[in-house]
Chain A
Amino acid sequence: MLTFIIRRLLWTVLVLFVITVVVFIIFFKTPGVDPARAIAGRNPSAQVLQEIREQFGLNKPLPVQYLLMMKSIFISRDLVSYSNQGVKVVPEIAAATPATLSLVFGAALIWVVMAIAVGVAAALLRGTVFDPLLMVLALIGVSAPVFWVGEVANLITQGTWHDTFLFSWVPPLGYTPLTQNPGLWFRGLVIPWITLSILYIGLYGRVLRANILETQNEDFVRTARAKGISERQVLLRHTLRTSMITFVSLFGLDFGALVAGGALLIEVVFGIHGVGYLTYQALANLDLPTIMATVVYGAFFIVLVNAIVDIGYAWLDPRIRPT
């Protein structure tokens, strides 16, 4: 276990190094990008640009600039945004994290429960009309672009039907911290949660159904049935558990990517100022310090979530456990 953790940590450091270097190089080698201009604002004089370059260290060689930026992210934590003068990036991300975590955890809970329900129901109802019906619904869920679903949801819950009994409980767009008002936190997130989970319910439901149908033909399922245990136990203990292996590895990838800022579109559509929203703004403004900090944050979470998934995976399938 200890070697596992140490190996993971070393791996994380390597991943962070490679990603930050790549982001850094892409940023400075992109044609037409001059951070000094971004910082200076409209029509700066040549002298102002020169001053800015010196102030921000932009005239130093790239490796030195890289090291300075890493130092101010990891050690002094005082990296300053290029576009919002004086805003420190690291605390900004720390402040945005709870919103993203609230959004993604809630959606993940919904989509895991619903996808298992959909996958199991479709597999059990195979041969009836409900199986293809569920699968078509799932396909629609997968195909609908998330920003479009979000906008439509907003039109309905904030516009047309907002004043009816159906959606009068939906608060205005935005995020209320859990510690401030748990009720409002919950009500404000319900629609974003559902919107975000629709895609994944469809995707995971289809994957799980296929895996269940495949597992049902396995010899050990036949053995389980021959043992005289109930159909329910055959399904829950034997078929479902083995079918969950793909599900869990997919979940690790998607969940990690979402926490890392992948819920960007949802955050923008629903005005939730999370990490995705921050990334979106930083990209629009070519704000390297913020981009860099969100990338580091994202890489950290992806590695962390993958480590957790690996542990879950080993729990599900003893064959891959280290001996």
Chain B
Amino acid sequence: MTGEPLLDVRDLKVSFRTEDGLVKAVDGVSLTLFEGETLGIVGESGSGKSVTMMSVMRLINDPNARFEGEVLYKGHDLMTLNRDQMRAIRGTGISMIFQDPMTSLNPVYRVGAQIAEQIRAHDHVSKQAARDRAIELLAAVGIPQAAHRVDNYPHEFSGGMRQRVMIAMAISCNPDILIADEPTTALDVTIQAQILKLLRKLKNDFGTAVVLITHDMGVVADLADRIAVMYAGRIVEQGTRREVFYDAQHPYTWGLLGSIARLDRPKPRRLAAIPGQPPSLLRLAPGCAFADRCAHRFDLCDEPPPLLARVDGNHLDACHLEPKQKKELRETTIHPELIENAE
């Protein structure tokens, strides 16, 4: 992990004007992604993880949205590109797959045509060549009888198969970065595992850097090299997978880790949950956004906690507690053997 990052998001802020006031969906997020790396972005609904990556792709068309900050891709700031320049990057430089494969494909076109459309938008190849490539891609993502299925419509595929089609489409122009926005959330558990396996295979085969957005710690445990935990539009903790799972510094991360159902422990009477609700992004208090739900709140929590390396060079967190205190408190919330299954 040396040299220039492939993607460098610097202090990204995204806000939406609404009738009730300004909603700060993303409030100063900085991220880096290096070649071939997988970055997991974890957080609950509304934490701003999707909005962050949609902003990177410049896919938010809402006229009420305001953007600040820089998104450097290979040194170019995507936020300043015009429509055609951005179009040239989507699909080839950065591509994206979405949460719900049932609605992400256009119902009126054959899947092969939808894949070929992207190929032909970026490469000057014949229709036949694009179609052949679509068949290859469908086979590569594990769709049986690809040469036949290429002419099927999306409604003739199951959810998992549609997500495979989406993945085939996303990798069709060999992108540097693949953004997967909750790629398994809408799928059955057994299918989830298959899709994750496929993503890992593609990552290894093609060397594509992956940004994996999820609310499921289990998913990032499986795939991510580094993890960023988001809460209320900010990153509250960031580090390698090992650091975040074994040495989590932020009480919110503890909550996430503690709320996973475990098979290797005695069955708890109730599954642990983080009490309370995520705060409204409309009028956030200046202090720590998690303070109201945090069992370890103290005076300093009314001050905004900066995202700093408090334990180790690249392991960042935004909690005022002393690392030593945290170590003791953490034991009450989670146990660090969690990652054993994943490794």
Contacts and interface: CB of A to CB of B under 8 A. Distances in A.
B83 interface: yes
A226 B96 contact: yes
B100 interface: yes
A318 B108 contact: yes
B83 A220 contact: no
A233 B105 CA distance: 15
Interface stretch (B86-94, B194-202, B315-323): B86-94
Interface in B90-141: 90-92, 95-96, 98, 100, 103-109, 117-118, 121-122
Interface in A203-260: 216, 218-220, 222-231, 233, 237-238, 241-242
Given A127-B63, A220-B103, A228 B153 contact: no
A319 interface: yes
Contacts of A163: none
A318 B63 CA distance: 33
A143 B169 CA distance: 47
Contacts of A127: 63
Nearest to B93: A228
Interface string B165-192: 0100100010000000000000000000
Contact of B98 (A219, A230, A318): A219
Name, among B87, B153, B166, the residue most crowded by chain A CB atoms within 10 Å (CB to CB). B87
B25 interface: no
A259 B120 CA distance: 43
A216 B166 CA distance: 19
Given A127-B63, A242-B106, A318-B108, A223 B166 contact: yes
Given A226-B91, A227-B91, A318-B155, A220 B118 contact: no
B90 A225 contact: yes
B74 to A, nearest CB: 16
Nearest to A220: B106
Contacts of B169: 223, 227
Give the interface residue-count category, chain A.
20 to 34
A221 to B, nearest CB: 8
Given A227-B169, A228-B118, A318 B107 contact: yes
A173 B286 CA distance: 77
Given A228-B118, A228-B121, A229-B118, A223 B87 contact: no
Given A219-B104, A220-B106, A227 B121 contact: yes
Nearest to A244: B108
Given A218-B103, A318-B155, A230 B108 contact: no
Interface residues of B, number: 32
A220 B121 contact: no
A228 B100 contact: no
Given A220-B103, A230-B87, A319 B59 contact: no
B57 interface: yes
A317 B103 CA distance: 15
A303 to B, nearest CB: 26
A231 B59 CA distance: 12
A262 B84 CA distance: 48
Contacts of B92: 228
Nearest to A224: B106
A316 interface: yes
Contacts of A233: 117, 121
Interface of B: 57, 59, 61, 63, 83-84, 87-92, 95-96, 98, 100, 103-109, 117-118, 121-122, 153, 155, 166, 169, 173
30 contacts: A219-B104, A220-B106, A222-B59, A222-B98, A222-B104, A223-B166, A225-B59, A225-B90, A226-B59, A226-B95, A227-B90, A227-B95, A227-B118, A228-B88, A228-B89, A228-B90, A228-B118, A228-B173, A229-B117, A229-B121, A230-B87, A233-B121, A237-B117, A238-B106, A241-B108, A242-B106, A242-B107, A317-B108, A318-B107, A319-B155
Given A225-B90, A228-B91, A229-B121, 11 more contacts: A219-B98, A220-B103, A220-B106, A223-B104, A223-B166, A227-B95, A228-B118, A233-B121, A237-B109, A237-B117, A319-B155
Interface of A: 127, 216, 218-220, 222-231, 233, 237-238, 241-242, 316-319
